[in-house]
Amino acid sequence: MSKKLSLAIEDLHVTYPLTGAAGKNKVARAVDGVDLQVFVGETLALVGESGSGKTSMANAIMRLIDPSAGKIMIDGVDVVPLQGKELRAMRRNFQMIFQDPFESLDPRQRVIETVMEPLAIHGIGESEAERREMALAALSQAGLRPAAEIGERFTHQLSGGQRQRVAIASAIILKPSLIIADEPVSMLDVSLRAGILRVMADLRDQLGVSYLFITHDLSLAWMFADRIAVIYLGRIVEEASAVDLIANPMHPYTKALVSVIPVPEVTSLEDRTILTGEIPSPASIPSGCRFHPRCPLFRELGEPAKCLTEDPVLHIQSNAESHRVACFFSDNKGNQ
């Protein structure tokens, strides 16, 4: 691997203590041993259902919560042990775009103040005037033009799409190498999504920003990302190039997810695999392969003991080195 890593996560664990009737001294394992790499200039989509641990991962990377174990290397530096000043200095390099632009911006601040704030915190720019210039440039880059005019508005005067662009401008003002985008377009009308994603794609192409793009929407991940990692109950179950993962899903969970992606045309509903039940609680992760209680392949193969007792690790699939799957039987069955 000669490519440079922007983000390298090693054996990350995030746990939450349980209280009350759920049991003392027990924990919910929201992220349960994840390895993940994002190369410089690359977009990796992390796809999972709610409760799969994807937002816990984002929060751990942003150091909004403390992981219980593991390393989070950003540009080669493990940010987990960093505290105080060191962490603040490092924070310039990784920024986050949140899902809800109605909650993530201060309604009493002018747009320009919102975008300039990180510069002042990090002591960037010689003067107020210089910081203002930089903020205007960022607004313009985020597609908010004329920047000078929009900059004077209050964030509550903006539409959802414009707010999300302000959030993008605030995220890029420090010129980070990595941006964590947690469902950045899911709250927006469909007609506005393309505009926001286009701005993000331009930043990737022009500034070489790397993205960890977190979403529940596989088709959006396919469209936007270079690679996709599918997370189930705190563990990556499959990882491949975006095109390969959708064209040739190997893990039974991914197969089912891909089969139910709605497309805007009339298609046969026969080939879909609809999983029954719901994702279990991270407080009671099933034994063996955590997906076995819902797995159609497990039942098809007559409930092999291996799935009940052994925990499958992510391994390279025979057909392509970049395609990795955590399933004992993904190779020999179910790929017709």
Partner 1 sequence: MSLLEIRDLHISYPNPKGEFFAVDGVDLSIEKGEFVGLAGESGCGKTTLALSIPRLLPQQSRISAGSINFNGVDTTSLDEEGMRAFRWKEISVIFQGALNALNPVHTIGSQITEPIRIHDASVSKKEAHERTLELLEAVGIPSRRSEDFPHQFSGGMRQRVMIAMALSCMPKLVIADEPITALDVMTQAQILDLLRSLCDRYSLSMLLISHDLSVLAQTCDRVAVMYAGKMAEQGPTSKVFGYEGARHPYTQRLLSAYPNIKHERKFIDGIPGYPPDLSQEQLGCRFSDRCDVALGKCATEIPQLIDIGSGQSVACHLVNEGGAGLQ
* Cα–Cα distance, 191 to 265 (Å, whole number): 18
Nearer to partner 1, 222 or 328 (CB): 222
Contact status, residue 328 vs residue 304, Cβ threshold 8 Å: yes
C-beta neighbour count of 203 within 10 angstroms: 18
In order of 10, 29, 186, the CA distances from 78 in angstroms are 10, 22, 31
SS3 303: coil
Nearer to partner 1, 29 or 193 (CB): 193
Closest to 93 in 3D by CA, of 169, 185, 7 = 7
Nearer to partner 1, 94 or 232 (CB): 232
| Minimum distance of partner 1 from residue 51's CB (angstroms) | 8
Residue 269 phi, psi dihedral angles, 5° rounding: -95, 0
Contact status, residue 106 vs residue 166, Cβ threshold 8 Å: no
Nearer to partner 1, 74 or 158 (CB): 158
Tell me the three-class secondary structure of 167-198, residue by residue.
HHHHHHCCCCCEEEEECCCCCCCHHHHHHHHH
Nearer to partner 1, 7 or 257 (CB): 257
Contact status, residue 168 vs residue 142, Cβ threshold 8 Å: yes
Nearer to partner 1, 67 or 101 (CB): 101
| Minimum distance of partner 1 from residue 210's CB (angstroms) | 19
| Minimum distance of partner 1 from residue 330's CB (angstroms) | 19
Query: Which residues lie below 8 Å from residue 130, measured CB to CB, with a gap of 6+?
Result: none
| Minimum distance of partner 1 from residue 190's CB (angstroms) | 5
| Minimum distance of partner 1 from residue 276's CB (angstroms) | 8
| Minimum distance of partner 1 from residue 99's CB (angstroms) | 12
| Minimum distance of partner 1 from residue 226's CB (angstroms) | 11
Residue 149 phi, psi dihedral angles, 5° rounding: -75, -45
Which residues of the shown chain bind partner 1 in the complex (CB under 8 A)? 49-50, 159, 189-195, 197-198, 201, 216-220, 222-223, 242-243, 246, 256-258, 260-267, 269, 272, 274-276, 278-279
| Minimum distance of partner 1 from residue 232's CB (angstroms) | 11
DSSP summary character for residue 100: -
Nearer to partner 1, 67 or 249 (CB): 249
* Cα–Cα distance, 139 to 336 (Å, whole number): 49
Query: Which residues lie below 8 Å from residue 249, measured CB to CB, with a gap of 6+?
Result: 238, 255, 257, 258
- Find the helix packing angle between 128-141 and 160-172, rounded to 10°: 130
Residue 93 phi, psi dihedral angles, 5° rounding: -80, -20
| Minimum distance of partner 1 from residue 218's CB (angstroms) | 7
Nearer to partner 1, 266 or 305 (CB): 266
* Cα–Cα distance, 61 to 95 (Å, whole number): 10
Nearer to partner 1, 49 or 311 (CB): 49
